[in-house]
Amino acid sequence: MTFCVLEPVAALDLTMSDGATVRVRRHGNSAGPRLILSHGNGFAIDGYLPFWSLLLADFDLFVFDQRNHGRNPRARAESHTQTRMADDVETIRRAIAARFGRRQTAGIFHSLSATVSLLHCMQYGFQWDALILVDPPLAPPPGHPLHAAARKFEFSLSAWARGRRASFASVDELASYFKGTRRMRHWVPGAAELMARSITRPAVGGGMELVCPPEFEADMYVQNANSPAWAIIPSVAGELLIVCSDYDAANADPPGLVSKAAHSEFGVAVVSVPQTGHLLQIEQPGKVETIVREPLRARGFQ
């Protein structure tokens, strides 16, 4: 199967507070309720098309890549921070409302963008009519039973990212790599090729290179390990839905386990998708779509 991202209904090239550029694209039903979506570290929102394409008929979708990812130009290394990304969310949210009018709006954010959305809440207050976090990679504070495991997980990913290749002979070479990894081999058919196209661009000397440099990706995992985002959860717990990987699996990773803890400790609504890992929107897009529709309907997104 081949996935093709359609041309957007509209696109905005927005200037962030530090001068970085983030491109926002509008897809779907312009008369429907509004959803804003973004992706995880090292990836790109176009690669999540197997999931968000299922929402096109009913929702007014705005998708964007985090700075230094996907379709965005390279910004300064020193500005590649979660704090800046949280500020970007507010710039994007306000720009969409100013250009297309105010409307009931929900956010659906995976992994890195989920953490960023919580930091956005810390900086700007809760600005959503619904906020859905997908497998957020949160690190609870010292003294929490999952503190050490969550931090170790992020530091391990950081070490892996620092050693990963930055260039490939072709998109197919990267897609083949995805298909051979434990965490990515269960993606729906065609998703590996789609993601490989979405996170690369032609290299000056030939072949393809990663849009997000490995050192940028590695640093973001360290920022995950040290993020204060966990602290905001108690005050917004009643507003959140977390859709997470299978926390009952024998090899469950910390994002799923931490999501389970957010439910037991703070009462956050959490739905675990059986037999999925961190990229559950690409492994089981139909199941995740069904899960997110119900709370959206309950909040009047119809």
Q: Is residue 70 part of a domain?
A: yes
Question: For residue 111, what are the contacts with CB-CB under 8 A and spacing of at least 6?
Answer: 39, 40, 41, 43, 134, 135, 136, 137, 255, 278
**Two structure tokens written together for 110:** 């995976």
Q: Is residue 1 part of a domain?
A: no
pLDDT (mean) for 192-220 = 97
Domain count, the chain: 1
CATH of the domain at 93: 3.40.50.1820
Q: Is residue 108 part of a domain?
A: yes
Q: How crowded is residue 8: how many other Cβ atoms within 10 Å of its Cβ? A: 16
- Nearest alpha-carbon partner for 283 in 144, 110, 124: 110
Residues spanned by the domain of 177:
10-298
- Per-residue confidence (pLDDT) for residue 183, from 0 to 100: 82
- Per-residue confidence (pLDDT) for residue 148, from 0 to 100: 98
pLDDT of 302 above 80: no
DSSP state of 183: T
Q: Is residue 98 part of a domain?
A: yes
Q: Is residue 80 part of a domain?
A: yes
Q: Is residue 2 part of a domain?
A: no
pLDDT in tens, 66-108: 999 999 999 999 999 999 999 999 999 999 999 999 999 999 9
Given a contact cutoff of 8 angstroms between Cβ atoms, the answer to whether 143 and 252 are in contact is no
- Per-residue confidence (pLDDT) for residue 6, from 0 to 100: 86
CA atoms within 13 A on the CB side of 71: 16
- Per-residue confidence (pLDDT) for residue 2, from 0 to 100: 86
Alpha-carbon separation of residue 11 from 39, 63, 92, 138 (angstroms): 18, 10, 12, 31
- Nearest alpha-carbon partner for 243 in 114, 134, 106, 112: 134
pLDDT in tens, 217-261: 999 999 999 999 999 999 999 999 999 999 999 999 999 999 999
Q: Is residue 22 part of a domain?
A: yes
pLDDT in tens, 139-193: 999 999 999 999 999 999 999 999 999 999 999 999 999 999 888 889 999 999 9
pLDDT in tens, 3-36: 988 899 999 999 999 999 999 999 999 999 999 9
Cα–Cα dist 172/96, whole Å: 35
Whole-structure pTM value:
0.97
Q: Is residue 4 part of a domain?
A: no
pLDDT of 1 above 80: no
What is the pairing mode between strands 105-110 and 34-38? parallel
Cα–Cα dist 226/128, whole Å: 25
